Structure 1
Amino acid sequence: MTTAQRRRCSALLLSTDTVADVVEILQAHDFYEPAHALIYDAVLRVYGAGESPDPVRVPRCSTPPARRPRPEAWTISAH
């Protein structure tokens, strides 16, 4: 079941058409893994804002604000 859910989440991140197809059918509580439900909620938020869900936008949306790194804490490493 988890492999199928991972594939479903991946499809949602790759195609806006896929989101449009499942938005009326699939709900976050349909996912067994809490992480997959969190990803799905984030996909819906991005999609609902009129943007295309993708692997860049969704992780930003799915990370709780208290856990997001602050820009001043980011570092650039040459390693």
Structure 2
Amino acid sequence: MKKKQKDPELLRKYRQSVLFNKREIAAINKYCSRYKINNRSRFMREAIISEVLRRFDRDYPSLFDQPGVQV
């Protein structure tokens, strides 16, 4: 069976670190155990990226939201 080629653009090469306090890590641990999340890196990456994309979408200017434009 042929191995699937990975897109070099999607290769993760940049590392970021996040520090949590006791309450935050306890909440994350409880959430992960309750919802059976085994891959915490993936969970946090998806949560961060989904929030970033949601804000980009919300903040994207549209023709009808600009002040001074009469319809």
TM-score range, shorter chain: under 0.3
Which has the larger share of helix? Answer: 1
Q: TM-score, normalised by structure 2?
A: 0.27
Q: TM-score, normalised by structure 1?
A: 0.25
